[in-house]
Amino acid sequence: MPQADASPIAPRTIAPLPRHIAIIMDGNGRWAQRRGLARVMGHHEGSKTVRGMVTACAERKIEALTLYSFSSENWSRPEDEVAALMTLLKQHLTSELPLMLKNGIKFRRLGRREGISADVLELLDETERATAHGTGMTLTLALNYGARAEMVDAVHAIAAKAKAGELDPARIDEATIAAHLGTAGLPDPDLLIRTAGQMRVSNFLLWQIGYAELHVTETLWPDFGVEDLECALRDFAGRQRTFGGLQVK
């Protein structure tokens, strides 16, 4: 007898699959407001969606999944909402660690450390250490992240090496820059999914998504399920990716 939570479509029936999926998880607040609930309840529901997406992507042998959790601009939200988000993050990391270990998922954090409380940083670091030897999917959480800040930090690091004589400025190329970004070692995203219908990339992975396929859905993040993921994957599989060249007939 099939399990009730089995995926409606067997994993890996869609080809080609992206190696790296990046998701802008938008719509938690609107989901809650439409139901007359506090915004934080939308974030609680959204955290459940995260678990489902991590599981679904791991089942489909996606190499990397990067989730936009909290931008550097999100600190301007009400203080109680930010505090609730950080509490929810700690709870989620603690509860999901056994699942990550079971499935060989390697966890990474992306974004500046400055501004994040010591207890949250400690738990993030512990999760990275505990999963460092995972051989399955790499799960990256973008927290206190902004792509422009990431590129500024990369330029600072490269300039410091050049000043110290460790790097010839004339030899700086795209690979040099990529190696100094927070996503170093990961393939660039092939597919960028944005929920809740907004047609913008919101300062997310600006360098890395240069050739990513975009999939925007009106579905709010807490309602985004396996069927929605399958739709995005089928959309991706139907695209002709020429990377600036001409389609070969």
Give the model confidence (pLDDT) of 211-247 as tens digits: 999 999 999 999 999 999 999 999 999 998 777 665 6
pLDDT value of position 242 = 73
Residue 124 CA to residue 141 CA, distance in Å, equals 10
pLDDT in tens, 178-221: 999 999 999 999 999 999 999 999 999 999 999 999 999 999 99
Mean pLDDT for 135-163 is 98
What pairing do the DSSP bridges indicate for beta strands 191-194 and 213-216?
Answer: parallel
pLDDT value of position 95 = 95
Nearest CA among 249, 244, 246, 195 for reference residue 21: 195
pLDDT value of position 241 = 78
Element (H, E) at 24: strand 20-24
Mean pLDDT for 51-79 is 95
Q: Which fold has domain 20-235?
A: Undecaprenyl pyrophosphate synthetase (3.40.1180)
Radius of gyration of the chain (CA): 19
Q: Which of 74, 103, 188, 203 is catalytic?
A: 74
Annotation says 74 is catalytic: yes
* pTM for this entry: 0.91
Annotation says 223 is catalytic: no
Q: Which of 26, 144, 190, 228 is catalytic?
A: 26
**Residue 119 to residues 96, 115, 123, 146, Cα–Cα distance (Å):** 17, 12, 6, 22
Q: List the strands of the sheet with 191-194, edge to edge.
A: 106-110, 138-145, 64-71, 20-24, 191-194, 213-216
Mean pLDDT, the chain, whole residue set? 92
